[in-house]
A = this chain, B = another copy of it.
Amino acid sequence: MLDFAILGLLIERPRHGYEIKRSLAQLGFWTVSFGSLYPALRRLDKRGAIEASEGTGRRKAYAITADGQELFDSLLTADPDASETDRAFQIRLAFLSQLPQHQRTRVLEHRRTKVAAQLKSARDVVVEARTESQKPDRYRLALMEHAMRSIEADMAWLDGLIASERGVGVTPRTQIT
């Protein structure tokens, strides 16, 4: 998981640990802890997927190797299976432009069916909570409704991505500079 993300970042350019942490946070989905990060870097190094070299001062610049490239590609290309984590999808998405068009759509569509399932169960919970005789108090009701709305927002966002995917490659219609 984390390994996947690290490899993706290192493809663009070598980075040192701290910078990887920052980049991950900027993508908006993971403020990884040092206790995860540094062991992961050692893991990947031992595996030969990345290589460390001395950088400025205390820094260690990590670069991806050919093996690492291969590993990353296999992770990115792999069919998204049923047990794919939310986070796994987000990582995939962050590097989606590296996939050919038709595979991108597949990734998005697959995600959509998952989110649809989440949405259904969240809605069921809310409906049940509202009708039940033993109503949860307002705080819990608020929690449930908020969870539901978050998923609805996810869904709308995803649909937007899928729609814009269809529009790509047909007529990019770039603004005249």
Taking Cβ atoms with an 8 Å cutoff, the residues of A that contact B are 26-29, 90, 93-97, 122, 125, 129, 137-140, 142-144, 146-150, 153-154, 157, 160-161, 164
Contact = CB atoms under 8 A, between A and B. Distances in A.
Contacts of A143: 27-29, 90, 93-94
Contacts of A149: 153, 157
Copies in the complex: 2
A175 to B, nearest CB: 14
A142 B122 contact: no
A80 B129 CA distance: 28
Contacts of A29: 143, 147
Given A153-B150, A161-B142, A164-B138, A28 B122 contact: yes
A138 B149 CA distance: 24
